[in-house]
Amino acid sequence: MTQGLVRSVIGALAIVAGLAAPARAQTDEIQVYNAEIAEQGVFNLTIHTNFTPVGIKTPAFPGAVTADHSLNGVPEWAYGVKPWFEAGLYMPLYSVDRTMGFGLDGFKLRTLFVVPHAADRKFFYGTNFEFSVNAQRWNTSRFSSEIRPIVGVRLGDVDLIFNPILDTEYDGLKNLDFAPALRIALNLSKVWAVAAEEYDDFGHIDGFLPTNQQVHEIWGVIDRNGKLDFEAGIGAGLTSASDKLTLKMILSFDLNSPKPKDGAIKGS
């Protein structure tokens, strides 16, 4: 990791920690980060789509999107700035439910700092920072953020990845919301993988919610890697505060090719 990466991560942590507080977990992006980013100079587009055929039927707050039978998603636009830094924009974030119909839910800015060439390492790590501007139907707070550390290890054909996520609505450290994500993947080949994922939300770090009010979901996922990366999954909620059944699909592809390295012949 370069000195520039270390300074950037420490600086961002200091800014967010000084303002932090809990955020209601958003469901536009159901994914465990593996510290892999776009190559330097490459634009990438990832399309997130989620559908909840059996979800919570009561909105989280008056005027909120109702999860049951709702569709939501977002295009994620990313650019590889450095081998250790990717910048991203989620826009437009949208949802469709049976009560209010279609609506725009806001947008997000992302900065992702990682160890370079994570895909080639046995141990990899990074940190993601997101800043969200939310519509009233999506969150009670106009502004919120996410701090997502990334820690992973490869044991042969098995990947173990942990994202101990902290969400914030900028109202104090004690109100940080702990919403970790875990992935255990078996790489069947260089192209195909299957995985089990878990997504949780325990509540504020100064006092977790009772178990029946926490969110706990177990997912089965299949991945295909190539020029068009594809991920599909089905998730089951384990508590009354969790959606009972959710489906996800993620499509990802580069919009341009990386520039040839110095001395390389274009097209070679």
Mean per-residue pLDDT, 167-176: 94
pLDDT at 68 over 60: yes
| CATH code for position 62 | 2.40.160.40
Beta bridge partners of 184: 160, 196
Is residue 126 included in any domain, yes or no?
Answer: yes
Is residue 264 included in any domain, yes or no?
Answer: no
Going 210 to 60 to 50 to 170, the CA torsion angle's sign is: negative
Angle at 170 between CA 96 and CA 10, to 5 degrees: 110
pLDDT at 22 over 60: no
Instruction: Report residue 167 as tokens.
Output: 């969400």
* Percent of the chain residues past pLDDT 90, beyond the cut: 85
Count of CB atoms within 10 A of residue 78's CB? 22
The pLDDT value recorded for residue 134 is 97
Instruction: Report residue 128 as tokens.
Output: 């993601």
pLDDT at 12 over 60: no
Alpha-carbon span 161 to 153, nearest angstrom:
7
Highest mean pLDDT among 9-18, 25-34, 47-56: 47-56
Number of domains in the chain: 1
The pLDDT value recorded for residue 27 is 73
Per DSSP, 151 falls in state E
Instruction: Report residue 147 as tokens.
Output: 């701090």
Is residue 244 included in any domain, yes or no?
Answer: yes
Q: Which of 180, 183, 112, 191 is nearest to 154 (CA)?
A: 183
- Residue type for position 134: N
Alpha-carbon span 10 to 235, nearest angstrom:
34
The pLDDT value recorded for residue 259 is 82
pLDDT at 6 over 50: no
Task: Quick: pLDDT tens for 110-154.
Answer: 999 999 999 999 999 999 999 999 999 999 999 999 999 999 999
> 214: domain range?
3-254
Task: Quick: pLDDT tens for 208-260.
Answer: 999 999 999 999 999 999 999 999 999 999 999 999 999 999 999 999 998 88
Is residue 259 included in any domain, yes or no?
Answer: no
pLDDT at 13 over 70: no
Mean per-residue pLDDT, 42-56: 97
Is residue 260 included in any domain, yes or no?
Answer: no
Average pLDDT value over all residues in the chain: 90
Is residue 205 included in any domain, yes or no?
Answer: yes
